[in-house]
């Protein structure tokens, strides 16, 4: 979006605001530790439709195998009511919650920086408006 705006002639104050916001996002991402970046990537992956499909298929395969293991001549490693599946899903849920909270905290920090920048731009605009009024 910023590239589209830069292709047009914009007033200098708007162009400066766009650059400030872009710089803010860039610096925030560069300051993020590698673990935080990894959390962001993993959270994006977990939020994808392929993860949902893979998890659903895994649960169905797990339950199906354990239900029909004896008929297949195998021993069920997690017979109904599937205590190991329950444990695995609880553990996965715990990690997903932690990932979401860590990613959200990172996004909240960016939001706070954005709010501060917005306030600074509003104050700057107020000063410019006051100066124009004084000149008139």
Q: Could you tell me if 106 and 39 are in contact, meaning their C-beta atoms sit under 8 angstroms apart?
A: yes
Q: What is the pTM of this model?
A: 0.65
Mind listing the pLDDT tens digit for each residue in 9-50? 767 767 777 787 788 778 877 888 888 888 888 888 998 999
Output the CA–CA distances (angstroms, integers) from residue 111 to 96, 104, 105, 115, in the order listed.
22, 10, 10, 6
Q: What's the burial of 42, exposed, middle or buried (CB within 10 Å: 0-12/13-18/19+)?
A: middle
Neighbours of 130 (CB within 10 A): 10
For the stretch 71-130, pLDDT in tens is 888 899 999 999 999 999 999 999 999 999 988 888 888 888 888 878 877 888 888 888
């Amino acid at each position: 979006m910023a590239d589209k705006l830069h292709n047009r002639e914009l007033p200098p104050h708007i162009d400066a605001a766009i650059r400030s916001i872009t710089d803010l996002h860039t610096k925030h991402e560069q300051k993020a530790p590698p673990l935080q970046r990894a959390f962001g990537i993993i959270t994006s992956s977990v939020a994808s439709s392929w993860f949902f499909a893979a998890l659903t298929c895994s649960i169905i395969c797990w339950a199906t195998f354990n239900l029909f293991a004896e008929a297949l001549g195998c021993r069920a490693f997690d017979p109904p009511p599937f205590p190991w599946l329950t444990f695995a899903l609880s553990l996965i849920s715990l990690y997903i919650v932690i990932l979401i909270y860590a990613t959200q905290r990172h996004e909240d920090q960016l939001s706070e920086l954005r709010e501060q920048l917005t306030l600074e731009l509003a104050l700057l605009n107020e000063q410019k408006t006051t100066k124009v009024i004084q000149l008139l």
